[in-house]
Amino acid sequence: VFPGNCWAFKGHQGQVVIKLPARVYVTAVTVQHITKDASPSGTIFSAPKDIAVFVSLLGASVDTDREEETLLGMFTYNVEKNPVQTFPLKNMLLPRAFSHVKLLVKSNWGNPWYTCIYRVKVHGK
């Protein structure tokens, strides 16, 4: 993880859909950003803040028969804590595995031009 070597998107909102290599019973998501000490500016305003995690079987298809997405959790990435943060997801009502995970970033920590995510990990079985 090096400063600037991230997935960046314009503005403070964005999303990514991750196609998993197999169907997974998703239990948690880990998000990583750089530390303030590693940042050339000494700030990490581009870090994501409010994040929602959804799952589906068919991903981001625009087909009319697309399965609805299911929200598994909403959480806040805290820039004052460890840069690697794992968030357990509420999937006890969904006793099945999914093939796609969508990470929806709803806000960042104050950068109006872009938001950066350095690493995302999906945990499950």
Is the CB of residue 105 less than 8 Å from the CB of residue 14?
yes
Q: What is the CATH number of domain 7-124?
A: 2.60.120.260
pLDDT over threshold 90, residue 4: no
Instruction: State pLDDT tens for residues 16-66.
Output: 999 999 998 899 999 999 988 888 888 899 999 999 999 887 755 545 455
Could you give the CA distance from residue 18 to residue 83 in angstroms, rounded to a whole number?
21
Provide the whole-model pTM: 0.86
Instruction: State pLDDT tens for residues 75-116.
Output: 999 999 999 999 998 765 566 788 999 999 999 999 999 999
Is the CB of residue 123 less than 8 Å from the CB of residue 29?
yes
